[in-house]
Amino acid sequence: MRVAVIGGTGLVGRHTVDALRAKGHEPVVVSRRTGVDVTTGAGLDAALEGVAAVIDVVSFESAERAAAEQFFAAETENLLIAEQRAGVGHHVLLSIVGVDRVEGNAHYAGKRVQEALVTDGAIPWTIVAATEFFDFAAQVVGWTRTDAGAVVPPLLVQPVAVADVADLLAEVAVRKPVGRTIEIAGPETHDLVDMARRTLTARGDEVRLIASWRDSPLGVEMAGDVRLPGDDARIAPTTFETWLATQSKRG
Ligand SMILES: NC(=O)c1ccc[n+]([C@@H]2O[C@H](COP(=O)([O-])OP(=O)(O)OC[C@H]3O[C@@H](n4cnc5c(N)ncnc54)[C@H](OP(=O)(O)O)[C@@H]3O)[C@@H](O)[C@H]2O)c1
- What is the residue extent of each domain of the chain? 2-248
For the chain, what percent of residues have pLDDT higher than 70? Answer: 99
Residue 51 near residue 174, CB atoms below 8 Å: no
Helices first, then strands: H and E counts in the chain:
8, 11
135 lines ligand 1 (CB under 6 A): no
Range scoring the smallest mean pLDDT among 19-28, 50-59, 96-105, 242-251: 242-251
Mean predicted confidence (pLDDT) in 214-236: 94
- From ligand 1's centre to the CA of 140, what distance in Å? 17
Mean predicted confidence (pLDDT) in 135-145: 96
pLDDT for the residue 251: 47
Mean predicted confidence (pLDDT) in 42-70: 97
- From ligand 1's centre to the CA of 128, what distance in Å? 15
For the chain, the C-alpha Rg in angstroms (whole number) is 18
Residue 217's pLDDT band, with cuts at 50, 70 and 90, is confident
Q: What's the CA gap between 173 and 248, in Å, rounded?
A: 33
CATH architecture of 2-248: 3-Layer(aba) Sandwich (3.40)
136 lines ligand 1 (CB under 6 A): yes
For the chain, helix, strand, coil in percent to 5 are: 40, 20, 40
Residue 250's pLDDT band, with cuts at 50, 70 and 90, is low
82 lines ligand 1 (CB under 6 A): no
pLDDT for the residue 248: 80
Mean predicted confidence (pLDDT) in 114-119: 98
Number of the ligand 1 atom closest to the C-alpha atom of 8: 43
Prediction pTM value: 0.97
Residue 97 near residue 168, CB atoms below 8 Å: no
